Amino acid sequence: MFAAAIKTGIRIGLALLLLILIPIHHTGEAASPGVNARAAILMEQESGRVLFGKKEHEKMRIASITKIMTAILAIESGKMDEKVKVSERATYAEGSSIYLKKGEKILMEDLVYGLMLRSGNDAAVAIAEHVGGSVEGFAFMMNEKAMELGMENSYFSNPHGLDDSEHHYSTAYDMALLTRYAMNNSEYRKIAGTDTHRAPQEGEKWDRIWKNKNKLLRMYKYTTGGKTGFTSLAKRTLVSTAAKEDMELIAVTLNDGDDWNDHMNLYEWGFKEYDLVSIIEKGTIEGLENKFYKNKVEAARTFAYPLSEDERELVRNDITLIKPPEKGKWKNPPSHVGNVTVLLEDQPIGTMPLYMKGTYREMDEETFWKTVKEVVTKFFIITVPYG
What is the CATH classification number for the domain harbouring 244? Answer: 3.40.710.10
Domain hosting residue 266, numbered range = 39-273
The number of residues in the chain equals 387
The per-residue pLDDT for 330 is 76
30 domain-assigned: no
Residue 300 sits in the same domain as residue 358: yes
Q: What is the CA radius of gyration of the chain?
A: 24
Residue 54 sits in the same domain as residue 8: no
Residue 260 sits in the same domain as residue 288: no
- Cβ–Cβ < 8 Å for 279, 315: yes
29 domain-assigned: no
Give the C-alpha distances (Å, rounded to integers) separating 262 from 196, 239, 240, 258.
24, 11, 11, 6
**Rounded distance, CA 119 to CA 228, Å?**
8
Q: Strands 196-199 and 39-44: what pairing?
A: unpaired
Residue 294 sits in the same domain as residue 245: no
124 domain-assigned: yes
- Cβ–Cβ < 8 Å for 266, 52: yes
**pTM score of the predicted model:** 0.85
* Sequence-distant (≥ 6) Cβ neighbours of residue 369 within 8 angstroms: none
Q: What is the mean pLDDT of the chain?
A: 88
Tell whether the model's pLDDT for residue 328 goes beyond 70.
no
**Rounded distance, CA 55 to CA 39, Å?**
5
**Rounded distance, CA 223 to CA 241, Å?**
6
DSSP state of 322: E
The per-residue pLDDT for 383 is 40
**Rounded distance, CA 226 to CA 211, Å?**
13
337 domain-assigned: yes
- Cβ–Cβ < 8 Å for 170, 158: no
Please name the helix (run of DSSP H) or strand (run of DSSP E) that holds residue 143, with its range, or none.
helix 135-148
- For position 283, which CATH number holds? 2.30.140.30
Region 231-257 average pLDDT: 98
Residue 154 sits in the same domain as residue 292: no
Residue 282 sits in the same domain as residue 260: no
Residue 263 sits in the same domain as residue 329: no
34 domain-assigned: no
**Domain finish residue from 273, 290, 323:** 273
**Domain finish residue from 273, 293, 308:** 273
Band the pLDDT of 177: cuts 50, 70, 90: very high
Residue 366 sits in the same domain as residue 289: yes
> How many domains are contained in the chain?
2
Region 158-176 average pLDDT: 96
DSSP state of 60: B
Band the pLDDT of 335: cuts 50, 70, 90: confident
- Cβ–Cβ < 8 Å for 375, 49: no
32 domain-assigned: no
Please name the helix (run of DSSP H) or strand (run of DSSP E) that holds residue 88, with its range, or none.
helix 88-91
pLDDT digits (tens, 9 = 90+) for 60-111: 999 999 999 999 999 999 999 999 999 999 999 999 999 999 999 999 999 9
**Rounded distance, CA 226 to CA 97, Å?**
18
In this predicted model, which residue has the larger pLDDT, 301 or 29? Answer: 301
* Runs of H (alpha helix) within 195-340: 216-219, 259-273
The per-residue pLDDT for 34 is 87
Residue 315 sits in the same domain as residue 363: yes
> Which residue out of 47, 64, 96, 170 is catalytically annotated?
64
> What torsion, rounded to 10 degrees, do the Cα atoms 271, 274, 280, 283 define?
20
In this predicted model, which residue has the larger pLDDT, 166 or 379? Answer: 166
The per-residue pLDDT for 353 is 93
Residue 107 sits in the same domain as residue 187: yes
* Sequence-distant (≥ 6) Cβ neighbours of residue 221 within 8 angstroms: none
Angle of helix 108-118 versus helix 67-76 axis, rounded to 10: 160
233 domain-assigned: yes
Is residue 119 annotated as part of the catalytic site, yes or no?
yes
Residue 264 sits in the same domain as residue 290: no
The per-residue pLDDT for 203 is 82
Which letter, b or e, does each residue of 2-14 get, where b requires 16 or more Cβ atoms within 10 Å of its Cβ? eeeebebbbbbbb
DSSP state of 149: T
**Rounded distance, CA 75 to CA 85, Å?**
17
Please name the helix (run of DSSP H) or strand (run of DSSP E) that holds residue 226, with its range, or none.
strand 223-231
> Which residue out of 47, 87, 96, 119 is catalytically annotated?
119
The per-residue pLDDT for 103 is 97
Residue 69 sits in the same domain as residue 17: no
**Domain finish residue from 273, 292, 314:** 273
Tell me the CA end-to-end span of the chain in Å, nearest whole number: 35
Tell whether the model's pLDDT for residue 356 goes beyond 70.
yes
